């Protein structure tokens, strides 16, 4: 049965889509319309290449469970990568935090995900997929495709992944093709960095050796 309300507005912007969600209607009613539009009325524009999504909730405050419900609905479309979810903070003492932008989803073969700044990507990058950023790249998942950090010449950028088995790594202008034994490495989170013009790999627990302040989870 068709959903005739207009609690969900989807608008195209230069680098993706904005989902404007009504802040006055019942939350369950909002979710019902969101599901319907993703599966029916807007199905044709929600397939194909990766699309960045910004979700705007107006004056509606939501808790973590409600936010996760919205994300779960959006993530059912494999080409949608959620970039931001904007809603008022809960509690008078809440302050905005800064940190890397968080995106969730999966980068499939043939897809390219690019971000200006530091990126925390929660998902897998499959063989044939590419993820790039002008800053650091942190992947909470498996990196089996290509990753390029510091694309505008930042040689201090790093690439970290829960499972590091890439097709190719690149930091700034330096390209490193992985050795044949990638698949036999320890299954611990590792990171790649440049030192004296050479790309090196180390366990994430040793990242403090770089002497930088990595607030990767600040704002998540």
pLDDT digits (tens, 9 = 90+) for 88-115: 765 544 444 456 788 888 999 999 999 8
Is 105 found in the same domain as 65? no
Give the Cα separation of 123 and 78 in Å (integer).
Answer: 11
What CATH number has the domain bearing residue 190? 2.160.20.70
Residue 38 lies in a domain: yes
Q: Which of 57, 86, 115 is the last residue before a domain boundary?
A: 86
Q: What is the mean pLDDT of the chain?
A: 82
What is the extent of the structural domain holding 179? Answer: 101-210
Long-range contacts of 126-134 (CB under 8 A, 24+ apart): 127/167, 128/167, 131/107, 133/157
DSSP state for residue 154 in the 8-state scheme:
-
Q: Pull the structure tokens for residue 147.
A: 């990753």
Question: What are the beta bridge partners of residue 166?
Answer: none
Q: Is residue 138 part of a domain?
A: yes
DSSP 59-110: T----HHHHHHHHHHHHTSTTEEEEEEE-PPSSTT------PEEEEEEE-TT
Per-residue confidence band for 161, with pLDDT thresholds at 50, 70 and 90: very high
Q: Is residue 219 part of a domain?
A: no
pLDDT in tens, 138-152: 999 999 999 999 999
Q: Are residues 123 and 190 in the same domain?
A: yes
User: In the predicted model, is pLDDT for residue 35 greater than 80?
Assistant: yes
- Is the residue at 1 inside a domain? no
pLDDT (0 to 100) of residue 220: 43
**For residue 219, what are the CA distances in angstroms to 101, 132, 216?**
9, 21, 8
Q: Is residue 220 part of a domain?
A: no
Q: Two tokens at 111? A: 């897809």
Has residue 215 been placed in a domain? Answer: no
Question: Which structure tokens are listed for 33?
Answer: 């319309």
- Asked if the structure places residue 12 within a domain, the reply is yes
Model confidence, pTM: 0.58
Query: What was the pLDDT predicted at 77?
Result: 77
Out of 86, 117, 143, pick the residue that ends a domain. Answer: 86
Number of domains within the chain? 2
**112-133: per-residue pLDDT in tens?**
999 888 999 999 999 999 999 9
Q: What is the pLDDT of residues 180-218, one digit of tens each?
A: 555 555 667 888 899 888 888 888 888 877 766 655 544
Residue identified by tokens 């008022």 is 88
Does residue 2 form part of some domain?
no
DSSP H or E run through 174: strand 174-176
pLDDT at residue 1 greater than cutoff 60: no
> Binning pLDDT at 50, 70 and 90, where does residue 178 land?
low
| Residue carrying the six token digits 């904007």 | 86
- Report the C-alpha dihedral over residues 22, 24, 29, 33, rounded to 10 degrees: -10
């Amino acid at each position: 049965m068709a959903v005739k309300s207009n609690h969900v507005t989807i608008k195209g912007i230069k680098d993706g889509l904005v989902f404007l969600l009504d802040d006055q209607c019942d939350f369950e009613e909002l979710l019902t319309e969101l599901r319907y539009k993703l599966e029916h009325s807007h199905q044709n524009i929600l397939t194909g290449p990766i699309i960045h999504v910004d979700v705007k909730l107006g004056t509606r405050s939501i808790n973590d469970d409600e936010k996760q419900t919205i994300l779960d609905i959006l993530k059912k479309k494999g080409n949608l990568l959620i970039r931001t979810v904007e809603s008022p903070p809960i509690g008078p003492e809440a302050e905005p935090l800064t940190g890397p932008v968080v995106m969730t989803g999966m980068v499939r073969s043939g897809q390219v995900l690019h971000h200006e700044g530091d990126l925390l990507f929660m998902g897998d990058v499959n063989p044939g997929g590419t993820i790039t950023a002008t800053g650091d790249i942190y992947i909470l998942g498996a990196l089996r495709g290509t990753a390029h950090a510091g694309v505008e010449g930042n040689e201090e950028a790093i690439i970290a992944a829960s499972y590091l088995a890439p097709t190719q790594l690149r930091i700034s202008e330096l390209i490193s093709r992985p050795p044949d034994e990638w698949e036999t490495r320890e299954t611990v989170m590792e990171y790649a960095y440049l030192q004296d013009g050479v790309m090196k790999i180390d366990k994430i627990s040793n990242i403090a050796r770089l002497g930088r302040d990595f607030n990767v989870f600040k704002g998540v």
